[in-house]
């Protein structure tokens, strides 16, 4: 199945118009022909089955022949992760988290962050490609680069809020032992230099739960994927 994303599509659309890049992909790469069937999602759970009625290098049009609304996964997962110095590692996290199943992603700026600037447009393309590859219909929300202080008071919006850090003296419980199905979670993963002592204390003061992700020290992007998969696994 070939899946395309058109976020502007409404649930009652009758036709789909593709931009120059998508049209070229349809015509030149996939070599689709008039009458061929493709599938389109608007990222809100709707799956549109469409028939191509016009194929041009710069403009393709498809006619909607069936619309289905797919059920979302039974949990809500918001991951707040500090982007890594090596950009490809953070993009790897975005790709794999989207494939596994995630609802919201916030790149966070911490005291020890080595990356101070990001390109959201590039991250969005990674997420779009991962969604299409994994044939999902719910597009994760990608938030702007956010100071960690902005997240401390978010506890009331979720069933549980967790943060994983590397301090040895902490009384941490394994994340997998704290998870339950069908819940709303927000999980903080710090930068390569870990959260600062000040950030850890502020999280504790705001009733964030300290968790462990295993017996080994993980890279930022690996820790984020372990957390993401743990939530998805408990809901299978």
Residue 55's alpha-carbon distances to 17, 149, 206, in angstroms, are 10, 50, 56
For 197-231, how does the pLDDT look when each residue is reduced to its tens digit (9 = 90+)? 999 999 999 999 999 998 888 999 999 999 999 99
CATH code 3.40.1280.10 region(s) in the chain: 76-234
> 6-43 pLDDT, tens per residue?
999 999 999 999 999 999 999 999 999 999 999 999 99
- pLDDT digits 0-9 by tens, 85-114: 999 999 999 999 999 999 999 999 999 999
How far from chain centre, in Å, is Cα 222? Answer: 15
Query: What pLDDT, on the 0 to 100 scale, is given for residue 170?
Result: 63
Q: CATH 2.40.240.20: which residues of the chain?
A: 3-69
Q: How confident is the model at residue 1 (pLDDT cuts 50, 70, 90)?
A: confident
Cα–Cα distance for residue pair 41/97, rounded to 1 Å: 19
**Fold adopted by 3-69:** Ribosomal Protein L25; Chain P (2.40.240)
Q: Give the CATH number of domain 76-234.
A: 3.40.1280.10
Residue burial 133-167, b: 16+ Cβ < 10 Å; e: rest:
eeebbbbbebeebeebeebbebeeebebbbbbbee
pLDDT digits (tens, 9 = 90+) for 163-196: 998 887 667 889 999 999 999 999 999 999 999 9
The structure's pTM equals: 0.93
Task: Read off the pLDDT of residues 223-235 as tens digits, 9 standing for 90 and up.
Answer: 999 999 999 999 9
Q: Which letter does DSSP use for residue 202 in this model?
A: H
């Amino acid at each position: 199945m070939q899946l395309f994303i058109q976020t502007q599509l409404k649930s009652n659309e009758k036709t789909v118009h593709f931009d120059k890049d998508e049209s070229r992909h349809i015509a030149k790469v996939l070599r689709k022909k008039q009458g061929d069937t493709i599938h389109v999602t608007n990222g809100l759970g709707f799956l549109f089955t469409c028939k191509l009625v016009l194929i041009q290098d710069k403009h393709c049009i498809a006619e909607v022949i069936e619309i289905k609304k797919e059920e979302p996964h039974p949990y809500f997962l918001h991951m707040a992760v500090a982007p890594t110095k090596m950009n490809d590692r953070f993009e790897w996290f975005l790709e794999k988290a989207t494939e596994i199943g995630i609802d919201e992603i916030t790149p966070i700026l911490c005291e020890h962050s080595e990356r101070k600037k990001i390109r959201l447009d590039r991250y969005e393309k990674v997420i779009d490609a991962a969604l299409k590859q994994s044939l999902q219909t719910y597009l994760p929300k990608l938030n702007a680069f956010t100071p960690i202080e902005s997240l401390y008071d978010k506890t009331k919006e979720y069933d549980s809020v967790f943060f994983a850090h590397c301090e040895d003296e902490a009384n941490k419980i394994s994340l997998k032992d704290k998870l339950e199905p069908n819940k709303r979670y927000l999980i903080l993963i710090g930068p390569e230099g870990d959260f600062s002592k000040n950030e850890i204390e502020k999280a504790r003061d705001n009733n964030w739960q300290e968790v462990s992700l295993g017996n080994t020290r993980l890279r930022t992007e690996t820790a984020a994927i372990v957390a993401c998969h743990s939530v998805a696994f408990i809901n299978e």
